[in-house]
Structure 1
């Protein structure tokens, strides 16, 4: 056989071998999923109140790690190899205070654990996701409320809320711990004391600093962290302070605080129901402003710009030393601003609406000339470079929930649907946002491929008070289809959802 024929024959053999290797492989990621068709495929009850708060998924072991403070403080390990047959296979005891959050990267599980004395430093405990062995325990600031790995896996960040004692005799500094995994878990605690000289200017723009005798650094309460895809920048929600902070992860310094301002409920697009005693769900315009006060935050990089998605829950400070919330009917309204005050302060109007005592009496004469309620009953998108508002869902979450029959009128006088959790994911070539709403037991699904114009897709019913909202990409999923995992703190229920394939 001539050399040319031999070569041709060899090529044919190789092609045949390649053809065999390229036969369809089971569990290849589904490329054509419809993000408007998520449906429940699995559920698991791991306890009652305090169970199933936050979860993290490890694609290597196909295990879900779930915070469970329902009895003893622990992390439950759930077999996710078949999401339709979830089962607890192990529990990791923390032997300390409550576990507040977990995150997974590269075979490591990081758990944020508060001290039994909340004003004392907390810790991050790192475990091996395969053996469950403890790898390292690292001290953080007081009350680490959320933990996350950077996308490259090199850093662990915690938002250390630094809540005060009930009598405010001990008000720890709020901070963010930056832990370097590759440098034997060295930690740097970043606080916001450098902004003290900017305090007045920031407050004029909407930053809230009002704790008794508190410095700015003491009053700041970091809640939730998101990190840019290049792992160089972090953004932190300062919920009680109504702001977002920006942190340079290279220099390990806070560089910006973005006060978020207020939402105007007198605008028709923002129409809300502010009474739980009017015997009807009716969305109207009112002379009230909402304080955004976001809880969860997530970042989407688009066109070179970081867009920050926030769930605008709201939260009042309720301590022995300060009780912030008050009903509108218990305030004295300025008659020059509210000539119809007597009517407004009826229970069937906005008399029972919870507002803050700390805003609205601008000249300190005891007469309130503005009303500020907690949260914004929405999710928002902010420019991560300058903090400008790009988009707000206005009253759409309320109206969609009402149309679906999920709305809870008993919460109208407080924070309504209470958006709390948020997660972003990519399905095919579309970016999708999932917004957990604590008081109506539901998750809203939006197409956010263009972050300036999110588009509603569907509502999903969840367990009681969804706390954790977690997206697993098709690439990392045990089924090779996208998964949404929702954990609920009031009933300990975990639910798994997946979309249809087109």
Structure 2
């Protein structure tokens, strides 16, 4: 396959001719746009509603349309024409009311739109995947998956659809379905739903390495809460975040089996490079080391390869369980500290120090005497890169996320006591010969860009303002873009905006 590098002078010629040109072997040319990945700028924006109106978007190359989840008092997928990305226009909607489900996630492959629906009649009941034609929105198929499908994705080869089925309990824990993953074969729409019961005998070993099982869990399988899926380029391996459990599962798609659970362990905030701002009551942004650990608890996950080694990247948001029968979050000032480990407990409990910090309430009492021997917080306020074969960490962004958004002026000091900027979304893509990472920050209303071509030493490129509470980060490569230029689409659930960004040419 030919590769043609283009400059600013030739971009327009290739844009108008690339659909018609073929090489001597009748293979379509692969156009490689010579873009600078550190120069993304907003070129278009559309608001489709209020809060919860723009959670996740996906793109259909055939129709040049975005399909965006809209849950702002409605139950629909909004259709947005981006044939001119500088002027996105809402042109229709897909009403989901007939399917008795609320959409959580969407993905597109070859003219088919797959939607993950949680049940609106019983949230703890099985969910659905509903598949539509992207041209006329007609129904192709609907199938049953596990409880509360929270994320959906096609495999790169289009042979599979996968969902992460979170399986959250109801408020009194009278219903707590197993957390599962579903694998759908697109040739037949046969569904295989897998739970984690077979890993129950490994529970104690996993917990020693930083995996978390709630103390009120009825069973190992019921406590697992899958959150997000990424699938390898060869469509053979998937990695699934288990957010509340502080782990990542590895899945063999060929055999349809879960082959491993990787505990993610803890982050030490008591170092200069991991220093964090812990108070929303001190009227300042101050990054300091504290004798606190963070559980990574990732939300989104993405993957890439370097030197034939697979890696996955996690957005280390953190997440509490807050139910009538089980609330695992408390302010540090409301907990008792071990006087020997923390002789300065009274000072630490001041609201201008650690007093306001939200901690995992049922962790840290290592000797069972009723006081905390260590403090464990939600999330790691960072993104991390892990070896995809071993689950071992190779890089963490330390406190770079919060510090860079402070420099931009979007860091929300009122979230310092919780999880800081809350890294929510991650996406690694190929731009030229570089692996480029985008990180969406829910509470700092921004995305960050890094070159992760060297996984052990990522290079920071830029921080860019987004809408309120960005939830979804979607990359459209130049080869599929309506303008034959790379685009980044950021969907923000706080204000219902979808923004489109484009980099400069080199």
The one of 325, 332, 350 aligned to 2:329 = 325
The one of 173, 176, 181 aligned to 2:178 = 173
Mapped contact 2:471–2:492 kept (Cα < 8 A): yes
* Structure 1 equivalent of residue 145 of structure 2: 140
Confirm whether residue 156 of structure 1 aligns to residue 161 of structure 2: yes
Change (3 A) 1:24 1:464: closer
Confirm whether residue 394 of structure 1 aligns to residue 383 of structure 2: no
The one of 218, 223, 227 aligned to 1:219 = 223
1:30 deviation in Å?
5.8
1:419-462 CA distances to partner (integer Å, 9 max, x unpaired)? 00111222122111110000010001111111221111111100
Mapped contact 2:124–2:176 kept (Cα < 8 A): yes
Q: Distance in 2 between matches of 1:213 and 1:349?
A: 33
Gaps of 5+ in 1: 1-22
* Structure 1 equivalent of residue 410 of structure 2: 406
SS in 2 for 1:342: helix
* Structure 2 equivalent of residue 14 of structure 1: none
Confirm whether residue 91 of structure 1 aligns to residue 93 of structure 2: yes
Mapped contact 1:30–1:501 kept (Cα < 8 A): no
1:111-145 CA distances to partner (integer Å, 9 max, x unpaired)? 00000111000000001111111100010000000
Mapped contact 2:469–2:493 kept (Cα < 8 A): yes
1:47-446 correspondence runs (5 A):
47-95=49-97, 96-116=100-120, 117-182=122-187, 184-446=188-450
Q: Distance in 1 between matches of 2:172 and 2:14?
A: 62
Q: Distance in 2 between matches of 1:371 and 1:212?
A: 20
Gaps of 5+ in 2: 1-11, 19-30
1:149-194 CA distances to partner (integer Å, 9 max, x unpaired)? 0000000000000000100111100000000001x20000011100
* Structure 2 equivalent of residue 26 of structure 1: 15
* Structure 1 equivalent of residue 503 of structure 2: 499
Mapped contact 1:425–1:472 kept (Cα < 8 A): no
Mapped contact 1:328–1:350 kept (Cα < 8 A): yes
* Structure 2 equivalent of residue 38 of structure 1: 40
1:213 deviation in Å?
4.0
Q: Distance in 1 between matches of 2:247 and 2:294?
A: 13
1:82-110 CA distances to partner (integer Å, 9 max, x unpaired)? 00110111100111221000000111100
Runs of 4+ in structure 1 off by over 6 angstroms are none
Q: Distance in 1 between matches of 2:248 and 2:408?
A: 32
SS in 2 for 1:37: coil
TM-score (normalizing by structure 1): 0.94
Count matched residues: 479
Confirm whether residue 468 of structure 1 aligns to residue 457 of structure 2: no
Q: Distance in 2 between matches of 1:198 and 1:429?
A: 41
SS in 2 for 1:247: strand
1:364 deviation in Å?
1.5
TM-score (normalizing by structure 2): 0.93
Mapped contact 1:434–1:443 kept (Cα < 8 A): yes
Q: Distance in 2 between matches of 1:492 and 1:287?
A: 39
1:236-290 CA distances to partner (integer Å, 9 max, x unpaired)? 0000000000011111111100000000000111000111111111100000000
Mapped contact 1:211–1:219 kept (Cα < 8 A): no
Q: Distance in 2 between matches of 1:429 and 1:299?
A: 16
Mapped contact 1:466–1:489 kept (Cα < 8 A): yes
Q: Distance in 2 between matches of 1:442 and 1:26?
A: 30
